[in-house]
Structure 1
């Protein structure tokens, strides 16, 4: 056994901190009776020494080891009562991951030794398991976080100019034909200029990465030879998932990706899971938090043997506890300050604002974030629902937050498909759902609009399948959403029928145009710009394969044309301030002539009235946006047949220039201006956008 000198050290900062001379170890546990630091050889196979942390200050166990250096592998064994009926599950036979570990070495290999109780015992978790789990556990790693960022500059893109691209690190890069094999599927692949260039050409301003914090594959998935592809199974909030680091790589690989994306003007947003952990319910494994201080880290039920679960994943992180809240805040600040990320998307964020059954917009977590000098300056996005009582909280998050607008997705899909009675919903969605978000000074950007996301059909599949096809998940096709609001356009799945393919192209152009031309913050799903398919799987959480990966070599002429259309729409949005206004518009007058900032029109060119809005069969509408110098006219027809539409009078604009035609797949086509009051043909299942100058406005005049 090696001999390591031990000094008292400090209770802060928490974690393993290299100061240039030695390493301070500090671990919070309010209910432990003793904590042992376990040091391992460089391969993590042999335990070199167990050292009892000598000091206990303010519920933090700590010690300083002057002989330890970066690269040292370690873990903890925590002693205390094993009494599940009182919420305590200490078992020093289980090696535990440091909650503040900045790197993990090795992968978890599932074994019954992971569990604090005897698997198969008739007493279940009330039994006690004495097997050592170190041989199948990843090890925490002491690291030196220092890095030279050079001239890295955050893009700091205003919300009103933000366009988000939701992507998966591996899914985006695994099949890229121009990347070296060793970096495909990794953060090094994400950092490659050829991947960054694709995002730049598309025109997005931010990439939202699905979870990259350390997570493990669920045991039941491994048994079926599947994996947790999405990664919503976090076990550590400070370290990267080792699977996304290329051979020989480390945290610097992530930092390089951030720096290169920043240099291209693209922000990095992390999808984070602070609502639950990978330790699951009362029958789950003991990997970290459960064995360190179960009663502090988790929200327990009235019977403390069990967990209060609003996530559907077995447990809920206890943000009511100040030390647990501190851990989450320290984690968020770490990713912002040390890794330069630009924001976060919070999975099942309603759980972060809960007082058990009740959601509270002024919960302590939201209040702490709002006053934090670091976090209050980055983008915060909520997935505003969970699985608990009153879990659907779209529009109810506090000022400063944006939210995934699930209602936008559903209503836009239904309208585009031609369902009845959707005109009022369509109009609300186009203007960023003011009925949900316009309160407490919130702006239109608070609505993160999306029509597809990782959870559900891709855009191509939305118009290729009437039903989900999740057979590959091996759950009897019972998993995944049934309410998809999709339409296969005449054939289920792949087809060679050109008419059906043309209709599918038109339908996805319609929906993408609605998304990009709406007020609020657009979010595009990885691969939708080039026709990515998941073959009808709308719940590909366990498909770490070509079902879920972007198939670069399958991008054909139709997909390239769609990419060009998407690129043109995004460029048009960037060029037209009326499409990304920073205030809600409700038809307010903007000049002495009574010009209003938005007017809704019937096909006869007259303003919509109560009868037109309430007609359940009405599926055609025009939206006229007016600025001081500019006009935009959006015409939408969800019928399958064309219809005549009369353009507004010369008092609005003398002539109109066609900017977008989803029937032809054109953005800024070379077309002659159309005089005011002309009746045009608005094609079936078609969206048109026209632009014009206000009467008397000069071509160089900018709107205020």
Structure 2
């Protein structure tokens, strides 16, 4: 080993704890690099100026480590990793580049873009060249962090899936315009814990907040150059540390206080995490962490041409989770967020990538097997975005228990049914029952489907009924970005209008779609702002819009719609049959008459197979132990319905109707729920 200028204590050094772990008398530093020849630890003062550096004195199993006495929390640090610079063989070691510790618990600031952060001469565009400029002035430094925190008895809620209502929110966008939140806190974890925010979440029946990425991410250089930013954060550079700008006070403890406050309010916290790729991009991206630590270990490379990254994510690189050290890093970071930060679950971005083995997607692959047997992670909420952009990447219904999955078929079929698309009624009926064709197999429960009408990616619910086409000009990509498959309908005018008839029709359809969401089996997920009529002015890809376009406008909130969502979630809590965990008695066939599920025709009879392609109005009867529920869905014009025999009592209606009238006059584009208990 190379002699170190730092006073390492070899006798106290440990290889079994990766990262910078403060211990009694000092801090243990350890990092994995299978192909390095030496690893240099660099220390910095609070201003970011270098102070000391030295080679880690020990290595075993590819882990380089050393114990540094008299170093504790608050110390800034980074690494320079020595080894071959042979891009054609996949090696990109460059000790001129300061590297972020993959296990850093906190980063002191965001990256400053400069040509020096590239391992090659970026001016030439040739990644075979070698750049020897020092990148330290521009790269965030890791900060040794103290894990001690007084949780005062805080415990994970572990709410059952059948009782869960998810609220997908952007941490910053949720509170940037909230009038009750102090300006200095807006857009941070502290704002999420504000009593006014918690009161709103409780009012609408939310049981879990799913936050778009909060792990440290980069603001892409091409966006910064255009005066834009990476707003969503799907560009992670470190899986342990939080985004620095999301901490009002600059300390990780702020997250813990926020999680503690949400738990006290009965709300779980789920993080959207991005373990499929990193912010370093393709082989022509910057050298900030993994690429310079060990490119061949941390990334998939082209087997025939290891100079090039193998990309199934559309972002330039793919994390090599099949490698034991990389898989360990992923699992360690997940456990860190659960055990140290008390996070309740995770939604995995482009999760099909995590299941990719040499033969393709494998539901019994190394990552899923590791998660299923892990005593910590197998007991928290796990949600997959079940697709990526590679061959065979669309895997809705293909993930193993205990994973739940985003169900985009629910989104498209619910939108299509209420838009009156032809022959959608049968498909819509399957979504009401939890999509048994997709999820009713392999011993999976009906709660495997995470149902949603809108998510961060695409139109908001209000824009779904207000725009026929995306309006993404502000993104600077000439409208090429964002989905073209929106299943939307402006209902007579493109965008905002003063036409009362159009606005009434839009409101009716929004209420009907929300009702379908909360009356369906599966786990409902509501996009933040959809409960108040939030619009993004037709932009269906606000990934680069950190401004009024993407921030929730609380002053313009539709209070009637908020009340409607509150009534829906209350009804769902009152009738457990709506959130049954089983597919018992459901075959998935549209016309079957089953013991627990009956389909009702407006003529006063059970639906027949020939009815499904043409009807826009039908009923669903759920038989319970002591009562029955009758749900009526009318996507068409006003319809007369003969109800089943019995004493049916109206529990909820999306539009005014005369509940005692027989036959019932069902308004157009409406939902009504009756029970006879």
Deviation at 1:585, TM superposition (A): 4.3
Check if 1:630 corresponds to 2:616.
no
Could you tell me how far apart the structure 1 residues matched to 2:651 and 2:359 are?
Answer: 49
Deviation at 1:655, TM superposition (A): 1.1
Check if 1:48 corresponds to 2:51.
yes
Moved >6 Å (runs of 4+):
none
**Counterpart for residue 235 of structure 1:** 237
Deviation at 1:25, TM superposition (A): 0.3
Check if 1:63 corresponds to 2:66.
yes
Once the two structures are superposed, residues 398-447 of structure 1 have per-residue CA deviations (whole angstroms, 9 ceiling, x without a partner) of 01110000111111110111100011101100000010001121111100
Could you tell me how far apart the structure 1 residues matched to 2:221 and 2:572 are?
Answer: 46
**Counterpart for residue 291 of structure 1:** 292
Q: What secondary structure sits across from 2:447 in the alignment?
A: helix
**Counterpart for residue 657 of structure 1:** 649
Deviation at 1:673, TM superposition (A): 5.2
Contact 2:461 2:510 in 1 (8 A): yes
Once the two structures are superposed, residues 299-332 of structure 1 have per-residue CA deviations (whole angstroms, 9 ceiling, x without a partner) of 1112101111110000010011000000000000
Could you tell me how far apart the structure 2 residues matched to 1:88 and 1:13 are?
Answer: 26
**Counterpart for residue 638 of structure 2:** 642
Greater mean deviation of Cα atoms: 560-569 or 172-181: 172-181
1:620 to 617, 620, 628: 617
Once the two structures are superposed, residues 633-655 of structure 1 have per-residue CA deviations (whole angstroms, 9 ceiling, x without a partner) of 1111111x211111012xxxx21
Deviation at 1:466, TM superposition (A): 0.7
**Counterpart for residue 354 of structure 1:** 356
1:20 to 21, 24, 28: 24
Deviation at 1:3, TM superposition (A): 7.1
State the aligned residue count. Answer: 666
Could you tell me how far apart the structure 1 residues matched to 2:462 and 2:486 are?
Answer: 13
TM-score for both structures, normalised by structure 1: 0.93
Deviation at 1:212, TM superposition (A): 0.4
Could you tell me how far apart the structure 1 residues matched to 2:197 and 2:421 are?
Answer: 38
**Counterpart for residue 476 of structure 2:** 474
Aligned pairs for 1:317-328 (under 5 A) are: 317-328=319-330
2:665 to 637, 656, 681: 681
Once the two structures are superposed, residues 178-201 of structure 1 have per-residue CA deviations (whole angstroms, 9 ceiling, x without a partner) of 111111111111111111111011
Could you tell me how far apart the structure 2 residues matched to 1:417 and 1:357 are?
Answer: 40
Contact 2:617 2:633 in 1 (8 A): yes
Q: What secondary structure sits across from 2:665 in the alignment?
A: strand
Deviation at 1:249, TM superposition (A): 2.9
The 3 A distance-change label for structure 1 pair 288 and 535 is: same
Q: What secondary structure sits across from 1:65 in the alignment?
A: strand
Deviation at 1:500, TM superposition (A): 1.2
Deviation at 1:621, TM superposition (A): 1.5
Once the two structures are superposed, residues 524-582 of structure 1 have per-residue CA deviations (whole angstroms, 9 ceiling, x without a partner) of 00010111110000000000011000111222xxx100000010000010111111112
Provide structure 2 residue ranges, at least 5 long, that are not aligned to the other structure. Answer: 588-592
Greater mean deviation of Cα atoms: 450-459 or 599-608: 599-608
Q: What secondary structure sits across from 2:51 in the alignment?
A: strand
Could you tell me how far apart the structure 1 residues matched to 2:604 and 2:118 are?
Answer: 69
Provide structure 1 residue ranges, at least 5 long, that are not aligned to the other structure. Answer: 589-593, 694-704
Contact 1:357 1:388 in 2 (8 A): no
Contact 1:94 1:287 in 2 (8 A): yes
**Counterpart for residue 696 of structure 1:** none
Could you tell me how far apart the structure 1 residues matched to 2:153 and 2:59 are?
Answer: 42
Could you tell me how far apart the structure 2 residues matched to 1:512 and 1:434 are?
Answer: 21
Once the two structures are superposed, residues 250-303 of structure 1 have per-residue CA deviations (whole angstroms, 9 ceiling, x without a partner) of 111001110000001000000000000000001000000000000000011121
TM-score for both structures, normalised by structure 2: 0.97
Could you tell me how far apart the structure 2 residues matched to 1:20 and 1:692 are?
Answer: 66
Cα root mean square deviation, aligned: 1.4
Contact 2:436 2:586 in 1 (8 A): no
Contact 1:420 1:618 in 2 (8 A): no
Contact 2:262 2:268 in 1 (8 A): yes
Contact 1:113 1:131 in 2 (8 A): yes
Deviation at 1:662, TM superposition (A): 1.4
Contact 1:587 1:599 in 2 (8 A): no
Deviation at 1:7, TM superposition (A): 1.6
Once the two structures are superposed, residues 150-194 of structure 1 have per-residue CA deviations (whole angstroms, 9 ceiling, x without a partner) of 021322210001000000110011111111111111111111111
Aligned pairs for 1:140-179 (under 5 A) are: 140-179=142-181
Could you tell me how far apart the structure 1 residues matched to 2:43 and 2:362 are?
Answer: 43
Q: What secondary structure sits across from 2:368 in the alignment?
A: helix
**Counterpart for residue 113 of structure 2:** 110
